[in-house]
Amino acid sequence: MERQEVFFTHNICKELNKRLLSAVYDKLFILTDENTARLCYDKLAECRVLEGAKKIVTGASDVHKNVKALCHVWDELSQGGGTRKSLLLNLGGGMVTDLGGFAASTFKRGIRFINIPTTLLAMVDASVGGKTGINYSGLKNEIGVFCNALSVYVDTTFLTTLDNQNIRSGYAEMLKHGLISTPSHWARLICFDISHPDMTELQELVQMSVEVKQQVVLADPTEKGMRKALNFGHTLGHAFESLALEQNRPVLHGYAVAWGMIGELYLSRIRKHFPATTMLQTIQFIKEHYGIFTYDCKMYDRLYELITHDKKNADGKIRCTLLGDIGQLALDEVLKKEDIFETLDYIREC
Please give the residue ranges that form the binding site for ligand GLY (CB under 6 A).
Answer: 125, 129, 131, 227, 230
- Cα–Cα distance, 74 to 114 (Å, whole number): 16
Closer by beta carbon to ligand GLY, 20 or else 210:
210
Residue among 80, 174, 182 nearest 120 (CA):
174
Residue number with CB closer to ligand GLY (94 or 197): 94
| Minimal distance, residue 155 CB to ligand GLY, in Å | 21
Using Cβ positions, the residue closest to ligand GLY within the complex turns out to be: 230
Closest approach of ligand GLY to the CB of residue 170, in Å:
12
| Residue nearer to ligand GLY on the CB measure, 15 or 98 | 98
Residue 299 CB, shortest distance to ligand GLY, in Å, is: 25
Of 100 and 129, the one with the shorter C-beta distance to ligand GLY is 129
Minimal distance in Å, beta carbon 225 to ligand GLY?
12
Q: Which residue lies nearer to ligand GLY by CB, 116 or 344?
A: 116
Nearest approach, Cβ of residue 212 and ligand GLY (Å): 11
What's the min distance (Å) between Cβ of 131 and ligand GLY? 5
| Contacts within 8 Å (CB) and 24+ apart, 344-348 | 344/263, 344/295, 344/297, 344/300, 344/303, 345/297, 346/262, 346/263, 346/266, 347/236, 347/259, 347/262, 347/263, 347/266, 347/292, 347/293, 348/295, 348/296
Q: How far apart are CA 83 and CA 310, in angstroms?
A: 37
- Identity of the amino acid at 209: S
Nearer to ligand GLY, 125 or 155 (CB): 125
Indicate the helix (H) or strand (E) that contains 56.
Answer: strand 54-58
**CA angle in degrees (0–180, nearest 5) for 223-178-94:** 55
- 172 half-sphere exposure, CB direction, 13 A CA radius: 28
